[in-house]
Structure 1
Amino acid sequence: MSGILDRFSLDGRRILVTGGSRGLGQAMARGLAQAGAQVVAVARTPGHDEIDSGIRNLAGDVANTAAIPTLVDEAEKMLGGTVDSVVHAAGVQHRAAAVDFPLDEWERVVRINLTAPFMLSQEVGRRQLTAGVEGSHVFVASLTSTLGLPNIAAYAATKSGVMGIVRSLAVEWAAQGIRVNAIGPGYFRTALTENLFQNDEAREGLLKRIPQKRFGNPDDLSGALVYLASNASAYVTGQLLMVDGGWTAA
């Protein structure tokens, strides 16, 4: 009988990570590779070199939804078979008061944060069902999946919508061994939050609100992500796992 730590291993798993060339997506790809997975990191501007052992870079824009089947074809060629897991780390943000929020920015955020991950999971899930491959889909949610924050109406709408997708796909695919969950990062310093971190007052206000009294480090997501991608969470589907230093508990 294998030990509990063996259930966290991703040896032999083929994983596709979007937004995998920088920020949280890069840290997620690295953590998955360190757990044994073969990873393809998709980004519009991927690095020229491999991020880490077991990671391959693939240029692609998930917002171009018509090209998603071709993108998955390329990823499967690089991985040598059907994708076992997909991690949706690509995302964008636009900050504006609700009364001033531009329609073109609303549509851009919705397309990248909500429509694209659904259509990518739709394509990967279709192939997994056809091939009889069990798998794990991990969406990236947010604090705004469960609570309200000002000036980010489109982002909040997409991250709330992500959980609707997670629950629906989890229920549809559970009997076929495909699990669908979400990971919810709190405040990490990334390109999406840099303007907040540049504001001393805003930064200190956020820090006071976090029970652990620190911001997240990108590698803080690795343990939770490996758990959701591995057999350690074999009976977990349709769930949101927050990694927020206690923000949503306070």
Structure 2
Amino acid sequence: MKLQNKVALVTGSTQGIGRGIAIRLAKEGADLVINGRHDDDQARETLEQVRAQGHRVCFIAADVAEPANCYRLVEQAVEQMGRLDILVNNAGVQKHDAFLEVSEADYNQVLNVNLRGPFFLSQAFARHLRDTERGGRIINNSSVHEELPFPNFSAYCSSKGGLKMLTRNLAIELAPLGITVNNVAPGAIETPINQALMNEPEKLAGLLENIPAKRLGQPHDVAGAVAFLASDDADYVTGTTLVIDGGLLWNYSEQ
């Protein structure tokens, strides 16, 4: 139980990778703040699965695209749980559009959720740790596309590239406060966001040809890496990206 007596906030944790991360952190002993945009069946299911691990858990609805919501989310999390020790910036969106067709609205949505949200959540979280004179962990869910071009997803790649540099910069600025800042960068993970791909056998087969491990990743593959970065075992790890992709990044080629 490496995270006993720790409290973690995981954004976008009502399904997919975020849910997997929340459950794994609970298994490691942490109390959890679950977050999503709506208090719905998915949120309640995540709450029940985390509660089944025997730890405290609450849900706070907030759209992290807006800085005011980021501040409110951290404030309410501290009010309900007493403190925060770990922030996992997991919430993310992507939009498929050729660069020449991308709308301002879609660009704003992707950048606001994927980059502005982590920026202001990390700021609010770090201020909380500074004011309570404690160290902590910030872990961002980035993507192999912080490195790997992804045609027709230019806004998404821009957001993840920005997140990579934000992580490096915050690692330097926040190190004197005892706060580590790292990314995990998943490759192709079997989650609802990839449901369309999984329903197209030819495209899926082409992708698997690019993955040396010959399988899609699972949420628990990412969650294990997050649990490590959240633990004392990673106390000297900061400013880096841990790639979780079955070898995809260094074996990829456009068909």
Q: Which amino acid aligns with 2:111?
A: V
Alpha-carbon RMSD across the aligned residues, in angstroms, is 1.3
Q: CA shift at 1:73, angstroms?
A: 1.6
What does 1:35-184 align with in structure 2 at a 5 Å threshold?
Answer: 35-46=28-39, 47-48=43-44, 50=47, 51-53=49-51, 54=55, 55-81=57-83, 83-184=84-185
1:20, 1:56 → 2: CA distance?
A: 12
Counterpart of 2:208 in structure 1 is 207
Provide the secondary structure at the position in 2 that maps to 1:139: strand
Counterpart of 2:8 in structure 1 is 15
Task: Give CA deviations for 1:39-97 in whole Å, capped at 9, x if unaligned.
Answer: 1011112423523222322222112321322221211122222x111001101110011
Counterpart of 1:31 in structure 2 is 24
Task: Give CA deviations for 1:92-133 in whole Å, capped at 9, x if unaligned.
Answer: 110011111112101110011110111000110111112111
Provide the secondary structure at the position in 2 that maps to 1:57: strand
2:197, 2:228 → 1: CA distance?
A: 30
Contact 2:191-2:218 within 8 A present in 1 as well: no
Gaps of 5+ in 2: none
Q: CA shift at 1:195, angstroms?
A: 2.3
Q: CA shift at 1:229, angstroms?
A: 0.5
Under a length normalisation based on structure 1, what TM-score does the superposition of the two structures give? 0.93
Gaps of 5+ in 1: 1-7
Contact 2:17-2:223 within 8 A present in 1 as well: no
1:232, 1:18 → 2: CA distance?
A: 23
Q: CA shift at 1:176, angstroms?
A: 1.6
Task: Give CA deviations for 1:180-202 in whole Å, capped at 9, x if unaligned.
Answer: 00001110122322222222221
Under a length normalisation based on structure 2, what TM-score does the superposition of the two structures give? 0.91
Contact 1:21-1:45 within 8 A present in 2 as well: no
2:44, 2:17 → 1: CA distance?
A: 19
Q: Which amino acid aligns with 2:178?
A: G
Counterpart of 1:218 in structure 2 is 219
Q: Which amino acid aligns with 1:184?
A: A
Q: Which amino acid aligns with 2:173?
A: E
Contact 2:24-2:223 within 8 A present in 1 as well: yes
Contact 2:34-2:59 within 8 A present in 1 as well: yes
Instruction: Give the share of equivalent positions with the same residue, in percent.
Output: 35
